[in-house]
Homo-oligomer: A and B are copies of this chain.
Amino acid sequence: MPRGRYHPHRNTNAIPPMAVYTEVPDEELARFAGRYPLGALLSCKGIAEGVENSNFLLHTERGHYILTLYERRVERADLPFFLGLMEHLAARELTCPLPVHDHSGEALGELCGRPAAIFTFLEGMSVRRPRVGHCAALGQALATMHAAGRDFPLRRANALSVGQWRALAEAAGPAADAVAPNLAVALADHLAVLERCWPRDLPAGVIHADLFPDNVFFLGERLSGLIDFYFACNDLLAYDLAVCLNAWCFEPDAAFNVTKGRALIAAYHAVRPLTAGEIAALPLLARGAAMRFLLTRLVDWLAVRPGALVQPKDPVEYWKKLRFHADARSTAAYGWEP
């Protein structure tokens, strides 16, 4: 039967990049949504956004909202920090999802046995291949966020900073060599440098810590908002810029694009001038940021069972980036000098 034949689901070929992890029964959803001042519910679609949580796009009589169910990777105790930060930033100059309070004033509820919250909907789309204009807009928004976060009263330690990297490298162990030749030993060498030289006295505050292109919305080249604050924490502000240098300024062939680097750093510096100490430390911070994403990707890569449906991100990309930063002697390598 060549046509109209029944094809069983082929689980190996389709790689869903993201998924909804929890199905919400309609009665439970109606009960939950009824606690918020949103009017009647008109539609609810599970959306593929954010690998950590289940997200639904709600349409109600009042407008469009995002419902987020927090799955196991987000610690319940951290939620007041994340939700409070979004409220704090949205009340200042930064566009980000704003938690909606229910009739009793609570932003955090529970649905299907999980912590859950409803947020305002943010227009815009993430860009897969950021151009120079996007990098400049990002730099400005990042510095604006750092300034807006200055008086945020809650604190959360960075759970994936220099102090945690060695444990991750040990979790990967010698198996890392399957990803790149002699990677395990090379990682240990870089780790020793990072641990010894990591700066302690640079300006610190609330950072996003995961500001990849997925998490920044644009309408054309105008930045329309930031999302996904679930790695946000207190750490060195320039480290956040270092994460962005890694995530936004390399081309697909692993070459660093100095035009993008210059645009990102200059736009940041124009809003919050970098100190001399931050400028000097930037290559080391960028090497550290590459190490952080290399290590978590490595652990995910090695943890995956053969034939699994979800393919983790390739750690090699960040190993190349790490080596680029290790060779950088100053911010001149990023196309920018003070």
Contact = CB atoms under 8 A, between A and B. Distances in A.
A299 B6 CA distance: 9
A175 interface: no
A4 to B, nearest CB: 3
Nearest to A302: B8
Contact of A308 (B47, B159, B309): B309
A77 B4 CA distance: 10
Contact of A18 (B10, B20, B27): B20
- Give the number of copies in the complex: 2
30 contacts: A4-B159, A4-B160, A6-B159, A6-B296, A6-B299, A7-B73, A8-B299, A8-B300, A11-B305, A11-B309, A14-B71, A16-B16, A16-B19, A16-B20, A19-B20, A26-B126, A27-B128, A27-B129, A40-B219, A43-B122, A43-B124, A43-B217, A45-B47, A46-B49, A47-B48, A57-B57, A59-B64, A59-B123, A307-B307, A309-B309
B42 A159 contact: no
Nearest to A3: B75
Interface of A: 1, 3-21, 23, 25-27, 29, 40-49, 51, 57, 59, 64, 71-73, 75, 77, 121-129, 157, 159-160, 164, 167-168, 217, 219, 296, 299-300, 303-305, 307-310, 312
Contacts of A77: 3
A128 B1 contact: no
Which of A47, A64, A296 counts the most B-chain CB atoms under 10 A from its CB? Answer: A47
A26 B125 contact: yes
Nearest to A217: B43
Main secondary structure of the interface of A (DSSP, over half): loop
Contacts of A4: 75, 157, 159-160, 164
A289 to B, nearest CB: 15
A160 to B, nearest CB: 6
Nearest to A126: B26
Contact of A45 (B23, B49, B299): B49
A299 B8 CA distance: 7
B14 A19 contact: yes
B3 A159 contact: yes
Given A7-B73, A10-B72, 10 more contacts: A1-B164, A3-B159, A12-B305, A17-B20, A25-B128, A26-B126, A26-B127, A27-B129, A42-B123, A59-B123
Contact of A57 (B26, B47, B129): B47
Contacts of A299: 6, 8
Contacts of A40: 219
